[in-house]
Chain A
């Protein structure tokens, strides 16, 4: 399964999910933070002037485990 994320080089917030909106800079920062800790993985596909695209964005096994543990603390989150 492939999943793509495109982040525009603008300050306009992007809707990540129905209850989550982030600026592109903050979204990249969070993606990088999760990836650096092995919780999320992705590949940089295209770096153009106006946007950067990421492919194969997926939650890793460690990420799923962390979500599971978080759900134990706060049921109904996942």
Chain B
């Protein structure tokens, strides 16, 4: 990565104009636009560097707006679940894109933490790296399951077949069917999802999983439970109104 400057592209429409904020709009942190005081440009550069790194890793033209939190859907932890030690990189990007400039690392600290990540990534045989990769895969499978059951009318009867070719790519980006199988088994064991593995004769790995659904504990791992409950309050209110005889829309019988 490097800063190639602006001088070679004087006709670039994205160049900073007189009276406009300095730098590329999509990469700038909010203090450049809203602060009356001169921003700390080193912390601005850290923010830009972090979301540029995100763009390169995620192969996107522009970064997400604001802080890229490690547990959010656009986190590299979720986008690249097969990448060794990606949680460490996602945490670094989260810190470096903090809304508060003082919460961001300095450029020097950012460099050291990137070096640490690269060193950890290089030692792929290390237990910690393997563990973190497995955690990232479980995280990706859990989020996929929650999204799936909220979109598809499977209710709590969702099944998942494991094909013979466990190296085949699965529906979950970046994961093989074998990795999904392993993640589902561990999520059940952790109590993050319900599910019934079905084993075939003479086969150690399950042939399929039945009755998959997240548990409340699992849901809390990836979603804000208070926010989800607030979303469900209109249903509770409608049910209460229906039971008391008002505003019921033809789904009540005696």
Contact = CB atoms under 8 A, between A and B. Distances in A.
A6 B249 CA distance: 13
Interface in A43-78: 47, 52, 57-59, 63-64, 66-67, 70, 77-78
A23 B153 contact: yes
Nearest to A25: B153
Nearest to A27: B235
Nearest to B150: A29
Contacts of A36: 215-216
A59 B153 contact: no
B56 interface: no
B235 A34 contact: yes
B249 A17 contact: yes
Contacts of B219: 33
Interface string A1-20: 11111111111000111111
Q: Tell me the dominant secondary structure on chain B's binding face.
A: helix
Contact of A33 (B153, B229, B248): B229
Contacts of B11: none
Contact of A59 (B151, B228, B239, B247): B239
Given A9-B153, A47-B157, A40 B239 contact: yes
B213 A32 contact: yes
Contacts, number: 110
B18 interface: no
B251 interface: yes
A25 B241 CA distance: 22
A31 B8 CA distance: 59
A13 to B, nearest CB: 11
B175 interface: no
B11 to A, nearest CB: 49
A37 B220 CA distance: 12
Contacts of A24: 153, 155
Contact of B243 (A20, A31, A59): A59
B231 interface: yes
A26 B150 contact: yes
A5 B251 contact: yes
Contacts of A26: 150
Contacts of A1: 243, 254
B233 A67 contact: yes
Given A57-B239, A63-B236, A64-B240, A18 B249 contact: yes
Nearest to A24: B153
* Most-contacted residue by chain A among B153, B154, B232, B247 (CB, 10 A): B153
22 contacts: A3-B239, A4-B253, A6-B251, A7-B153, A16-B249, A17-B241, A17-B249, A24-B155, A25-B149, A25-B151, A25-B152, A25-B153, A25-B154, A29-B149, A30-B231, A33-B216, A33-B229, A33-B232, A34-B229, A40-B239, A70-B233, A70-B237
5 closest A-B pairs by beta carbon, nearest first, are A17-B238, A30-B232, A59-B240, A9-B153, A36-B216
